[in-house]
Amino acid sequence: MRIDIITAVPGILDGVLNHSIVKRAQDKGLAEIVVHNLHEFGIGKYRQIDDYPFGGGAGMVLMAEPISRCIEQLKSERHYDEVIYLTPDGETFRQPIANRLSLAGNLMLLCGHYKGIDQRIRDLYITKEISVGDYVLTGGELAAAIVIDSVVRLLPGVLGNEESALSDTFQDQLLAPQVYTRPEHFQGLSVPEVLLSGDHEKIAAWRLEQSHERTLKLRPDLLSGTSEQL
Ligand code: ADE
């Protein structure tokens, strides 16, 4: 999979792209992630990328032309399955969207900043708008990082068998069961006996039961089918 990210603040993405599983996926050649600095497509001597909103109001708006130049250049090089704009008024990001995006060949992510981007970019180029939750971030970079992390870990070969994404919380509308590691006893609390039994069938049954119990207690909406997740 290839992911192109367009941003006015590329540095914000350094952490997520250069560590842990997202880095491993790139090192293994399973994901190619390329960051494009919007300032390089800016207008005039000062590489301007934003301007005052027509009609007045606070904040600056990212101009259509620099974004269009960048998108057009990328689109001339390959086909994109989705051109995604990260925005608080987009569709709320959930596991099924991550699953679907993980099947794509090429994705483009556009991060907004300041007061947003010129609407005409959304009208002309954007195929999907995603929000990571009902709160406003300074820009789309942290939201893009969330989308990238959750999608890249689903790519075949990125996680080892033992870390399989299939057992993740949300993959089957259930929260994952609790986990323990050594020591067996810690500050008066012990690891549940069944996990030490070596009986894999019993362990699997216990985990499923715990998953149901935890989901019922913490996220009953997932079980009742009223969740937006479904
Ligand atoms: N940009 C600013 N806030 C955002 C949010 N909640 N989700 C996605 N992109 C954003």
The full set of domains in the chain, from first to last, is 2-152 (3.40.1280.10), 167-222 (1.10.1270.20)
- 33-47, 159-173, 215-229: which has the minimum mean pLDDT? 159-173
Can you tell me the mean pLDDT for 128-156? 97
Please say if the pLDDT value at position 73 is more than 90: yes
Could you tell me if 129 and 89 are in contact, meaning their C-beta atoms sit under 8 angstroms apart?
yes
| Mutate which of 13, 87, 135 for ligand 1 pocket (most atoms within 8 A of beta carbon) | 87
**pLDDT band per the 50, 70, 90 thresholds, residue 230:** very low
Please say if the pLDDT value at position 96 is more than 80: yes
- 69-83, 142-156, 158-172, 187-201: which has the minimum mean pLDDT? 158-172
**pLDDT band per the 50, 70, 90 thresholds, residue 162:** low
Ligand 1 center from residue 131 Cα (angstroms): 5
Ligand 1 center from residue 6 Cα (angstroms): 15
**pLDDT band per the 50, 70, 90 thresholds, residue 91:** very high
Find out whether the beta carbon of 137 lies less than 6 Å from any atom of ligand 1. yes
Ligand 1 center from residue 144 Cα (angstroms): 9
Name the closest-CA residue to atom 7, ligand 1.
Answer: 131
pLDDT of residue 228: 54
Strands (E), 1-44: 2-7, 32-37
Find out whether the beta carbon of 142 lies less than 6 Å from any atom of ligand 1. no
Find out whether the beta carbon of 208 lies less than 6 Å from any atom of ligand 1. no
> Angle 129-131-133 (CA atoms, 0-180°, nearest 5)?
165
Find out whether the beta carbon of 138 lies less than 6 Å from any atom of ligand 1. no
Find out whether the beta carbon of 135 lies less than 6 Å from any atom of ligand 1. yes
Find out whether the beta carbon of 88 lies less than 6 Å from any atom of ligand 1. yes
Find out whether the beta carbon of 222 lies less than 6 Å from any atom of ligand 1. no
Can you tell me the mean pLDDT for 132-148? 97
pLDDT of residue 168: 82
**pLDDT band per the 50, 70, 90 thresholds, residue 97:** very high
* Alpha carbons 181 and 64: distance in angstroms, whole number: 52
* Alpha carbons 136 and 2: distance in angstroms, whole number: 27
Run of H or E including 142 = helix 141-152
Please say if the pLDDT value at position 170 is more than 90: no
Can you tell me the mean pLDDT for 75-87? 98
Q: Quick one: tokens of 73?
A: 């250049």
Whole-structure pTM value: 0.93
| Mutate which of 62, 137, 138, 148 for ligand 1 pocket (most atoms within 8 A of beta carbon) | 137
